[in-house]
Amino acid sequence: MVNDNAQATRTPLIAGNWKMNLDHLQAIAFVQKLSWSLGDAKHDFSQVEVSVFPPFTDLRSVQTLISADKLELGFGSQDISEHDSGAYTGEVSGAFLSRLDVQYAIVGHSERRQLHGETDAIVGAKSAAAVRHGIVPVICVGETAEDLEEHGPSAVPVAQLREILSHLKASDEIVVAYEPVWAIGSGQAATAEQAEQVAAALRAVIAEVLGDDRAAATRILYGGSVKSDNIARFMREPNVDGALVGGASLAIDEFSRIVQFKKHVGV
């Protein structure tokens, strides 16, 4: 049985997935402004962790800025190779990412599943590669509108996660992001109840495959049309520990309001 009080020990994570937006010069200006905005708002990073996920080509610049200015922002990559080195043209190794202090790597985003044919087996191998290099995989799962109609909300994400977790061990730190494909970029977010129902089912699968301790410790994010006016609803749910934000993470004021959901929307 997963400990119901565990949510208090999970620091919420608000993650901004920039997708293929902002070059490295734009990224520097953006991260500086975001950090000023959160500084002006006296954001307490020990209460809500904030991480950005820029394109690969921005990572070195973002790392340099964050470390030089001692910013409390975290950062991650949007993908990672399942291989460590060798003849894999275009792939980026976790070994290289960890040299850049990358903390997180998104794996299995639905855009990569749809556009690049990534399967759960590949996503599992990528998750294991991240862990091998000390990087926390942010494992994305979610159902399409057709899946939802045919199987209901939980069946597909649960099956995806079960396969992916079979590549991992109980000691591996992970983050899971529930992103219903129909909610991504559509302006039509899931309801908080839907997100909670699926997050609870995902936590149960983590308990089943990796044990209760890993399930209690794992942050489960919701993603799909998250905005400052709906974030509070999700964050009130006991199994939702943060958000993976796409479009709204590219507007500094809006992303900053999302990060400060406690202040602005009275959770």
Ligand X SMILES: O=C(CO)COP(=O)(O)O
Shorter beta-carbon distance to ligand X: residue 6 or 142: 142
Shorter beta-carbon distance to ligand X: residue 216 or 224: 224
- Known binder of ligand: residue 247? yes
- Known binder of ligand: residue 39? no
Binding site for ligand X (CB under 6 A): 17, 109, 179, 184-185, 223-226, 244-248
Catalytic-role residue among 109, 118, 167, 196: 109
CB of 51 to ligand X, least distance (A): 12
CB of 42 to ligand X, least distance (A): 26
Shorter beta-carbon distance to ligand X: residue 166 or 191: 191
User: Distance between CA 72 and CA 45 in Å, rounded?
Assistant: 7
Does 196 participate in catalysis according to the annotation? no
Residue number with the smallest Cβ distance to ligand X: 246
Beta bridge partners of 14: 50, 243
Chain centroid, CA 20 distance in Å: 16
Helix (H, G, I), strand (E, B) or coil at 75: strand
Could you count the other beta carbons within 10 Å of the beta carbon of residue 220? 27
CB of 140 to ligand X, least distance (A): 7
Shorter beta-carbon distance to ligand X: residue 8 or 20: 20
Please state whether beta strands 13-17 and 74-77 pair in parallel, antiparallel, or not at all (unpaired): unpaired
CB of 192 to ligand X, least distance (A): 16
**What tokens does 234 get?**
């999700």
Catalytic-role residue among 82, 118, 179, 237: 179
Contact partners, residue 188, CB within 8 Å, separation at least 6: 182, 225
Does 109 participate in catalysis according to the annotation? yes
- Known binder of ligand: residue 17? yes
Task: Please name the residue ranges forming H helices in the chain.
Answer: 24-40, 59-68, 94-99, 110-116, 120-132, 145-151, 155-165, 192-210, 212-217, 231-235, 252-259, 261-265
**What tokens does 33 get?**
């402004």
- Known binder of ligand: residue 263? no
- Known binder of ligand: residue 19? yes
Q: Which residues are annotated as a binding site?
A: 17-19, 185, 225, 246-247
Active site residues: 109, 179
Q: Which residues are annotated as a binding site for substrate?
A: 17-19, 185, 225, 246-247
